[in-house]
Amino acid sequence: MNAIVQFTSQSQGRDRIFRAAQYACALSSYLLRNSGRESHVAKLKGLEANMSAGRKLLRLGNTINSIEAAKRTMQLSDRVLSLCLTVANVNRALYFICDNALWVKSVGLSQSINKERWSLNAYRFYFLSLVMNLTRDIYVVVQLMRQSAKDKNFRQKMDRHLSESPEVAEAVVPQLDAFVFLLFESLKSNPAVALDTLKNICDLFIPLDRLSIYPSNAGVVGFCGLISSLIGIVTLAQPKLRMKP
């Protein structure tokens, strides 16, 4: 119970709970769209809109947090990580600026804000932030794979895997099988990296759809958003599963 209270007392914790509920409603309304339960669908869409508005209110101070994060990542000794994370945080800050403007519009504080234009810009910055975060993930995964490949015990384990699966070696290029095994084992031994990569991949479908780069549907967006939200909740509740830096 104390863990739940501590989690919900954090602004990030509340935001992630709201986000999970928002995308759960989006997925549920999509699945029920042809069920003849129009009243249920309307209620779910209304709840989704309320959750989205609540999240905008919770994120009002996140622009400053992202700028401070960008300042910290600029000091990283690894230049690739520094570049990826700094650019990601800058774009995240710009995304929150657009998000704040949309909140101002939604509560009626300003009628001069073009909702469509600001929303489009928000998704552009969100997309760029995710691309840089994914680039960081790929870079880290490659480094882990290189370290594993140099480890004598790991190489022996990989050799046993290849020798014990001759049918796989015949059907698949041996080098490809070794690469997949190396990738899987590297991610398996580093769950924080695996979760962060999966989360960013799921999140990427949201701006891809909104920007019409790779149109999907509300069901895919809702499912991917829900999965990434649940991962966010898990990593916030269990700091050891959070990728650093």
Structural domain range at position 9: 1-58+216-245
Percent of the chain with pLDDT over 90: 63
Most confident of 36-40, 132-136, 160-164, 240-244: 132-136
Q: How confident is the model at residue 162 (pLDDT cuts 50, 70, 90)?
A: low
Report the amino acid identity of residue 13.
G
Q: What is the pLDDT of residues 74-91, one digit of tens each?
A: 999 999 999 999 999 999
pLDDT digits (tens, 9 = 90+) for 121-157: 999 999 999 999 999 999 999 999 998 888 877 777 7
Number of domains observed in the structure of the chain = 1
Confidence of residue 35 (pLDDT cuts 50, 70, 90): confident
Residue 109 located in a structural domain: no
Residue 170 pLDDT class (50, 70, 90 cuts)? low
Residue 229 maps to a domain: yes
User: What pLDDT is attached to residue 18?
Assistant: 93
Q: Classify residue 227: in a domain, yes or no.
A: yes
Residue 107 lies in a domain: no
In a domain, 131, yes or no: no
- C-alpha 59/C-alpha 47 separation (Å) is 18
pLDDT of residue 14: 86
- pLDDT tens for residues 171-184? 455 667 778 888 99
pLDDT of 172 reads 53
Residue 85 resides in a domain: no
Residue environment code for 86-124, b if the CB has 16+ CB neighbours within 10 A, otherwise e: bbbbbbbbbbbbbbbbbbbbeeeeeeeeeeeebbebbbb
| Sequence-ordered list of residues with C-beta below 8 angstroms from that of 73, at least 6 positions apart, any chain | 81, 82, 85, 86, 89, 245
- Could you tell me the two tokens for 202? 């799921």
217 Cβ contact list (under 8 Å, min separation 6): 30, 209
Give domain status of residue 86, yes or no.
no
pLDDT at residue number 3: 57
pLDDT computed for residue 133 by the predictor: 98
Report pLDDT for 108. 83
Residue 18 lies in a domain: yes
